[in-house]
Each structure stands twice: as C-alpha cells, then as structure tokens.
Chains A and B, each alone.
Chain A
Amino acid sequence: MNRDDCTGDAAAYVLGALEPDEAERYRRHLDGCAACRDEVAGMRRVTDTLLVAVPQYRAPAGLRRRVMHTIHARPHRRSKPARLAITAAAVAASLAAAIIFAQRPAPAGPAAQVRTAGGHAELSVQHLAPPAPGRIYEVWLERPHAAPAPTAALFTVNRAGAADVAVPGDLRGVRMLLVTEEPAGGSRVPTGRPVIVAPTN
C-alpha cells in the first residue's frame, strides 16, 4: 500500500478516539497496510502501560468480600450440561479442523529433545512454527513446587522449524524445560502457554 494513503490516525485509533465510521475505515486500511499495523502495535504497547499510570490504591475490603462471597457460593461455576455443550462444540470444531487438514499434508506437531552434559542442557526442537513478528521463544526451567525460572536462552527457528539451543544455568532439581512465546527481549514470568514441555530425565 502506498504510504501516502496512511492517514496518521494510529494514535487516535489506539486511544479509542476515532468516531465509529472513521475507526471502521481505519481498520480496513490496517488490513492492507503493514506499516500502519506496526505503528498501531507500538502505540498499543504505550497505551497498555498507561493503564497503570494512575494513582494506585488498595482495593476496598468490601469489594474483596463481595467477590469472594460470590465465588465461594458458586464453586462449580460451569454446570455439567454447559461443559458438555462446550465439549461437543470443541469436538465439532476439531472434526472440522481435521477435515480441513486432511486435504493438506499433515503438519507434524512440535517435538523436542533435551541432552544434558556437565550440568548444562541443550534443547533441540523440530516442527515449531516461527514466533509471531516482534516475539521470540524463551526457555524456562521448571522445578517442583516453584514458578518456572527464566533463562537467557531466547531463540527462533530456521525455515524448517528446527533449532538447537544451549540452555545456560544450573540444572539441579530441574524436571522440565518449557518453551513459551514471549515479547522480543524475553519476560521474567511466562506470559503464554508452553509450546514445548520437555522432561530433562
């Protein structure tokens, strides 16, 4: 798309300040303009941080009591029929997905092996899709009864979806290596579900 078509509305858009018809037009423009999509993504990171840029108070005790009273009163929040309905829908969806995939070569799911030597580990992954733009894979060490510990092992995969990653850090007590997709630069706590869970044995 020609850069001249860009209206410079990214800031007003992420602030929710466009009029409804303008916002709709801008969304359509974004569909075809990678430069504006990047600009929107960058500005959205700013507005996300603004959500904590307000004077900070403790939540009122009465609010906590009301919320906890409600959830303790209804511990099983999803009824059985609802769960079954969800399951049935999920089965239908996965059948649909299976039918779609059946028309293409079956993609192999991600696979991983861990080699350990001298208290260090090397993780080999295969069939892993590349991370989304601006994101990276991060390796975590999981020990029993502890939150996953971040490592400096940040990686992406080659065009075949494979990577060999040296994992720094002390492996004592580590049961699993986890891999999650994180913002470029990595995170201190995992922000997504693991895409790979590899036992260290």
Chain B
Amino acid sequence: MLRIQNLTKIYPNGTKALTDVSFNVQDGEFLVVIGLSGSGKSTLLRCINRLIEPTRGKIFWDDMDITAASPAELRRIRRQIGMVFQQFNLVKRSSVMTNVLSGRLGYTNPWLSLLGIWSAADKQRALEALERVGIADKAGNRADSLSGGQQQRVGIARALMQEPRLILADEPVASLDPVLSHSILQYLEQLNKDGKTIICSLHFLDLVHRYATRVIALKDGYKVFEGLPSEIDRVKFKEIYGEEAQEVRATTL
C-alpha cells in the first residue's frame, strides 16, 4: 500500500505545483490522476519515485518512507517502480534492445553494465518483454525508427524489465494518435490484472471511465476529487476542468 501524506512541492521559482495532497493507493489498484495541464499531475508522479524532491510531506510504501530513503535505498525502491512517459523518453540513437535492457540497470552488476555486458538471462528477459508488447521483431532497430505507438510499447517493455510492483504512467497516450490509446492502455490493464499497481495520469474522460478503478483529480496543485470513476458526472467535470471545458472523447476522434 502506498500512502501519500500532505505532499507539497514548491519549485525554486516559487511555483506551487502541489499543496497538501494526501491519498492512499491499495495494491492492485488502477488509479487514474486527472486534471488540466499544469495541475501537478506530472509532479505528483515524479515525487513518488523522487525524480523530483518533494518540498514537504511523506510518502510511505508499505512501511518504507520513500521521502527519507538514502540514495542507495532510493535506487532499490526505484527499481521496483516502473515508469512510462508521455514522450516515451527512449534513447533515440540506441537500439530497441539496449533501451529495453536499460530497464534492468537497477539489478545488474554496475561495472559490467558500464561495459555494456548483459547476462544471457537479462537478454532473454528483454526479448520476452518485447514479445509481450508485440514488437520482438524490432529488437535490433534504432529506437527512433519506430512509430510513436511502437516506441511507447518499448517504454512499457523497459518498465517490465524492472519486474515492478508499481507502474507510474505519465500521460502515456497523450502523444499518440487517439486510436492507439486503447492498445497502449490495454497493456497497462493487463499488467494491472497480473497484480501490479498502476498510477496513471490521463486526459480523456472516457478512457478514465473505461480503465480506472479509482480516480483522483488535481486542480492547481490541490486534490479536488477522490472517488470512483462513475462518480464523475458533468457537474464534477466542470468543477475539475473549469466552466469553459468541453468533454472530448478519445473514441470519437
């Protein structure tokens, strides 16, 4: 179980990205974070694995305090938390295989990995991860030769290499053609059914209704909603996104 208590992040330039955000995530949940661009979704996800240092507040994973972890402990925590990014964040000039293998860096012998030497077991695992997302035949290609949807699947395969208990997905489908959204989210849903906890930020409400088991909404860094996806009606929607907002459906695009 992940417990987030009074999480606050103030950037050095004074921007308050998160203010006193608290919520719990049970193991096996598919939690979706919604909110406008700039509402603090990305900051929240990055605070959980401390890619961004929180200013105040605590994050407990089971009984471990992530916010108080030493650098070595933090690396051990991070390797159990897979992350999928909006811009995929692949090393474009490296091969798909190298990108996937790099997900294993937290587990391998650091010196061998610096020389680029990988165990046969890791290579096998990488091929299996690529097979699981359906692009094993692209293993030797350069990452930037793949389409956006394929690149995001490489991103998921990289996260799988970590054998994660938790996956953070930061708008994983926002850079993709809307028709590809379901194919990517179905991989995440499958992983969720295999017992991994998913925390995912999304833009499209119909995707939220379809995949989320629970929803948190952020507005200007404050948590403004926490509940089941079915509880988000037109009134709530206007509350979260403002009066101007019009709901757009991914499937109708």
A binds B: no
Residues of A participating in the B interface, judged by any CB pair closer than 8 Å: none
